[in-house]
Amino acid sequence: MTHYSTEAAAIAAALMVARLAGLRFERDLETSMPMPSVGNYLHARTARLVLVPSTVSNGSDVAAVGEVMAAFGCDALVARADGADATRARFTVGLHGHRLFWSAPARLWLGAGAPAHFVPNHPDDTLFALFSVGLRGCEVPPWSSDEDRDDGFALGADALAALMVER
């Protein structure tokens, strides 16, 4: 497997959730900070969000993403791929505030309430919903039963799997 196929999976996963949420991206002409430290990032200015496709699984890009978040005063959604199979993509949420917060790696959940949800494995960790206006923490899960929860994860996995199907 090449680095390019892994990078393609991360980019495809990031763009898919951006499309689902209706995020709009503009060129960043006003920044004085050079951004090549975080390749392929997308800045959704109106959502106060930077979307970062990543192939780094050890978290060594966290500092660079943190710099971008500080420069733009925004949150981050990092789509991480560790292989060419986009179904294995995981998402991490970074919140910009008084202190930088990073969520646990999360899986994509699709269903009611928001275009996309990011759900960590541990039930006590915060899950996040992505809207066209940015990320929001969810106090209550969007599913009403374990079956709904599993169905939403299956929908998310199917959507990610469809990204890398050769045509």
Mean pLDDT of 37-57: 82
- Residue 93 is predicted with a pLDDT of 95
- Name the nearest CA neighbour of 81 among 15, 25, 8: 8
What are the pLDDT digits (tens) for 110-146?
998 899 999 998 988 999 999 999 999 998 999 999 9
Confidence band for 65, pLDDT divided at 50, 70 and 90: confident
What are the pLDDT digits (tens) for 83-92?
656 667 899 9
Query: Does 1 have pLDDT greater than 50?
Result: no
Mean pLDDT of 75-102: 84
Query: Does 167 have pLDDT greater than 50?
Result: no
Query: Does 32 have pLDDT greater than 90?
Result: no
Query: Does 157 have pLDDT greater than 70?
Result: yes
Phi, then psi, of 15 in degrees rounded to 5:
-70, -35
Full-model pTM: 0.87
Q: How far is CA 5 from CA 9, 47, 75, 116, 164, in A?
A: 6, 29, 27, 24, 9
